[in-house]
Structure 1
Amino acid sequence: MIYNEFIYVIFFCYRVWHTFCCLFRCYILSSGIAEYTTPGVLVMHHRPSVFKACVFLFAASASLASVVQAADSKLDDVLKRGHLIVGTGSTNAPWHFQGADGKLQGFDIDIGRIVAKGLFNDPSKVEFVVQSSDARIPNLLTDKVDMSCQFITVTASRAQQVAFTLPYYREGVGLLLPNNSKYKEIEDLQAAGDGVTVAVLQNVYAEELVHQALPKAKVDQYDSVDLMYQAVNSGRADAAATDQSSVKYLMVQNPGRYRSPAYAWSPQTYACAVKRGDQDWLNFVNTALHEAMTGVEFPTYKASFKQWFGVDLPEPAIGFPVEFK
């Protein structure tokens, strides 16, 4: 470790000196105080101007500052520290929640471990900091965490505060029905008109959201997710409308009890977030996620997707551009 740090210091000093020498040489040649008379021989003429001297100093300062800035990436900090710090939640399955053993688990947790493996070839070298949804962005801006993975919906307004990674999940609203429901597909529910009752979690936009897919359905709002599901189980509601990820997870936990039409609506994407202004760190996290979704770490990503959402992802197409994934 000491040897590596010594080599890093030597390399940094070399870059500073090399940059300074290149700029000074350009200054000498452009200032009119020297010219080549024969190959390799400089002849001095007159003094440089104050203006050109100032320009040189400004250029040198800016260039050296960029060299220093290049060494300040979060990527370097994390590698030196020896573990990754990820902000996440603890109360929302299947994304992030405490298992029976008290340890965090879920799809967001697996994403954090994928990035840790990319850093250290060891998925366990990650510290999860439990935070509220309101703290997802502030904790990044104050460097309490290296990245936040907490089913963060990507929006243009949030992108003004943080840098989003590649999205790792596309969310939407789905319908949960009892397995023995007389309604098979979305068209059956739409044809039933106001004869269909849909349970939904109480929200100011709940009725509008349901009516985007089922314009004439009756909408019953409930104070909790448990009460919403109880309405379906008891027959008071024909279906529940909620996040598709929650629908899929409930079906994984209760095989044979529920089903869901293929139709989903109101798409949004989830991504991790990092602090703005550090392209090296963002590039690394994107590389780790990209290779998990399409490359060498795909088996890990696929296994996690199957565990939490019950979906078998197709293998990435080999022998084609990555777009054919």
Structure 2
Amino acid sequence: MAAAAACALAGCAGTQPSGPAARPDYASPPMPAGASVAASPTGTAPARDCGDPTASLRPFPEGTTPPVASLARIQARGRLVVGLDTGSNLFSFRDPGTGTIEGFDADIAREVARDLLGDPNRVEFRILSSADRIPALNDNTVDIVVKTMTINCERREQVAFSTVYFLAQQRVLAAKGSGIRGAADLAGKRVCAAAGTTSVDHMQRVQPAATIVTVPNWADCLVVLQQRQVDAVTTDDALLAGLASQDPNLQIVGESLSPEPYGIGVNKADPDLVRLVNGSLDRIRRDGTWLRLYDRWLGMLGPPTGPPAPHYQD
């Protein structure tokens, strides 16, 4: 009885906690919502061969536009619906002062709206993650996607593309003094990339010993790099320059891992819309608009060599 009484006083009943409640550990900042570790590649898949993936449909002859169902739909709506994101500094981001979506991609989209609707402001931007670009085109959530979207054979099987409007190179972003000078130094390290991008596959091929952390948006990569939750970021140099411009302690390092030709995505069921978009891109190459937009948004990348020359398949 004495033992039982002592146990009761000590709180030995089975319903009582055996010790103090565990306290949460706030020492490490949380990862962004949607962050995950990419699965390791199970093998090297053979590269798809579709010839020249950047070859697109030739624009309609200047001054002639036959009846186009997709154009009639856009004109009846009164605005061009464009998919992009607001986490790609320099290309598409929200101006903190005005709330307006700005950047090179945003202005390319406005030039297409200028030609299709007569007014560059008749555009509606819908925010997409990189992984949502192709589904949004295929279910007609958007008319076009202008979102640093690399043209390749795999994507050509799912959507159509314009001609190339910008040529980037995949590289690596790391903290100054980190000792990381390129992909060779990333073995055993954590590298951030946006989910649904070619950057993940390229890094896994070039440096299979790296752990790839995927996040929904490129801005998330900047956050986890600054919080030292990853050692580096890999994507196109143009996007890395936008991240580096926000933090003087970061630098782009190493050689190009892969060329990244950007195209405007279009639903495969709308080939005539591809021709109209290519007509706009031809116009901005010829009349100096491309160079003006480059100087405004991308001058930090150095002097331009000019807009990429178009390749046509017909």
TM over 0.5: yes
Matched, 1:87 2:79: no
* Distance 1:207-1:78 versus aligned 2 partners, 3 A rule: closer
Corresponding residue of 1:291 = 283
Which of 1 and 2 has greater Rg? 1
* Distance 1:158-1:177 versus aligned 2 partners, 3 A rule: closer
Matched, 1:127 2:124: yes
- Of 250, 272, 287, the residue aligned with 1:280 is 272
1:248 is matched by which residue type in structure 2? Answer: A
* In structure 1, distance between residues paired with 2:144 and 2:193: 31
Matched, 1:300 2:292: yes
Question: SS of the residue aligned with 1:145?
Answer: coil
1:84 is matched by which residue type in structure 2? Answer: L
Question: SS of the residue aligned with 1:228?
Answer: helix
Corresponding residue of 2:246 = 253
- Of 209, 212, 222, the residue aligned with 2:203 is 209
| Residue 243 of structure 1: how far off its partner (Å) | 3.8
* In structure 2, distance between residues paired with 1:93 and 1:244: 12
CA RMSD after TM alignment: 4.1
Q: Can you give the 5+ residue segments of structure 2 that lack an aligned partner in the other structure?
A: 1-65, 215-219
Q: Deviations over 1:133-191 (max 9, x none)?
A: 454334434444221223333232332332111122334431234556778x76xx96x
* Distance 1:75-1:209 versus aligned 2 partners, 3 A rule: same
| Residue 293 of structure 1: how far off its partner (Å) | 3.9
TM-score, normalised to structure 1, is 0.56
* Distance 1:182-1:77 versus aligned 2 partners, 3 A rule: closer
Corresponding residue of 1:265 = 257
- Of 131, 149, 160, the residue aligned with 1:163 is 160
**Residues 163, 310 of structure 2: 8 Å contact kept:** no
1:247 is matched by which residue type in structure 2? Answer: L
Which structure would you say has the larger RCO, counting Cα contacts within 8 Å and 6 or more residues apart? 2
- Of 84, 100, 105, the residue aligned with 2:102 is 105
| Residue 285 of structure 1: how far off its partner (Å) | 0.4
Corresponding residue of 2:60 = none
* Distance 1:305-1:265 versus aligned 2 partners, 3 A rule: farther
* In structure 1, distance between residues paired with 2:112 and 2:136: 19
Question: SS of the residue aligned with 1:157?
Answer: helix
* In structure 2, distance between residues paired with 1:199 and 1:260: 16
**Residues 162, 276 of structure 1: 8 Å contact kept:** yes
1:313 is matched by which residue type in structure 2? Answer: P
Corresponding residue of 2:39 = none
- Of 299, 303, 306, the residue aligned with 1:312 is 303
* Distance 1:124-1:228 versus aligned 2 partners, 3 A rule: same
TM-score, normalised to structure 2, is 0.58
* Distance 1:315-1:145 versus aligned 2 partners, 3 A rule: closer
**Residues 291, 307 of structure 2: 8 Å contact kept:** no
Question: SS of the residue aligned with 1:276?
Answer: coil
| Residue 240 of structure 1: how far off its partner (Å) | 4.9
Matched, 1:174 2:171: yes
* Distance 1:121-1:253 versus aligned 2 partners, 3 A rule: farther
1:274 is matched by which residue type in structure 2? Answer: V
Percent identity of the aligned residues? 25
* In structure 2, distance between residues paired with 1:268 and 1:220: 22
**Residues 118, 288 of structure 1: 8 Å contact kept:** yes
Question: SS of the residue aligned with 2:225?
Answer: helix
| Residue 115 of structure 1: how far off its partner (Å) | 0.9
Question: SS of the residue aligned with 1:168?
Answer: strand
| Residue 210 of structure 1: how far off its partner (Å) | 7.0
* In structure 2, distance between residues paired with 1:314 and 1:134: 31
Q: Normalized per residue, which structure has more helix?
A: 1
| Residue 230 of structure 1: how far off its partner (Å) | 4.1
* In structure 2, distance between residues paired with 1:310 and 1:220: 28
* In structure 2, distance between residues paired with 1:103 and 1:229: 26
Q: Deviations over 1:33-79 (max 9, x none)?
A: xxxxxxxxxxxxxxxxxxxxxxxxxxxxxxxxxxxxx5343234434
| Residue 302 of structure 1: how far off its partner (Å) | 1.6
* In structure 1, distance between residues paired with 2:141 and 2:301: 34
* In structure 1, distance between residues paired with 2:93 and 2:111: 18
The residue correspondences of 1:29-108 to structure 2 (distance < 5 A) are 71-100=67-96, 101-108=98-105
* In structure 2, distance between residues paired with 1:203 and 1:125: 29
Q: Deviations over 1:237-293 (max 9, x none)?
A: 5x65444233211233345x4433462113333321122244432112012123334
* Distance 1:322-1:83 versus aligned 2 partners, 3 A rule: closer
